[in-house]
Amino acid sequence: MGYVGPILAYLVGSVFLGIGIYLVLTGSFPGWWRERLLWPVAHPTARVAQLMGLAAILIGASVLAVGFSLVVPDVAGGILVLVAIAAYVLGLVLYLLSTWMSRRPSV
């Protein structure tokens, strides 16, 4: 596989980090995302966008950590993989929470 795996991981992780930072800073989804990428979100609010941004940051960091674990010593790589798994699970939980928040009935 050579260098293709780490390069792909850096690219995908960087895209997720960029999207996440954008969502956290702006608190809104881009207009062209409405139909294509927001199908699980019923009512997009600023809080939902920020939570999804945090989830994207964590998932991007997870992908970057896995990609970087291929080029560091074994012990550090193992620690990076454990951190990546924890970041991925936390990102998934935040994504599910934000989706649930967008679908819950308003009080």
pLDDT tens digits along 25-41: 999 988 877 667 778 88
If one compares 6 and 88, the residue with the highest pLDDT of the two is 88
Nearest C-alpha neighbor of 65 from the set 87, 89, 45, 50: 87
CB < 8 Å & 24+ apart, contacts of 10-14? 10/64, 10/67, 12/60, 12/63, 13/60, 13/61, 13/62, 13/63, 13/64, 13/67, 14/60, 14/64
Full residue range of the structural domain in which residue 34 is found: 10-103
80 has a pLDDT exceeding 90: yes
Tell me, yes or no, whether 5 lies in a domain: no
Residue 105 DSSP class: P
Tell me, yes or no, whether 62 lies in a domain: yes
The pTM of the full predicted model, rounded to 2 decimals, is: 0.89
Tell me, yes or no, whether 3 lies in a domain: no
1 has a pLDDT exceeding 60: no
Tell me, yes or no, whether 56 lies in a domain: yes
pLDDT at 34: 65
Alpha carbon distance 54, 94 (integer Å): 7
pLDDT at 41: 84
7 has a pLDDT exceeding 80: yes
Tell me, yes or no, whether 4 lies in a domain: no
pLDDT at 106: 67
Q: What is the CA radius of gyration of the chain?
A: 16
Tell me, yes or no, whether 63 lies in a domain: yes
Q: Give the total number of structural domains in the chain.
A: 1
Alpha carbon distance 63, 79 (integer Å): 14
pLDDT at 90: 97
Tell me, yes or no, whether 1 lies in a domain: no
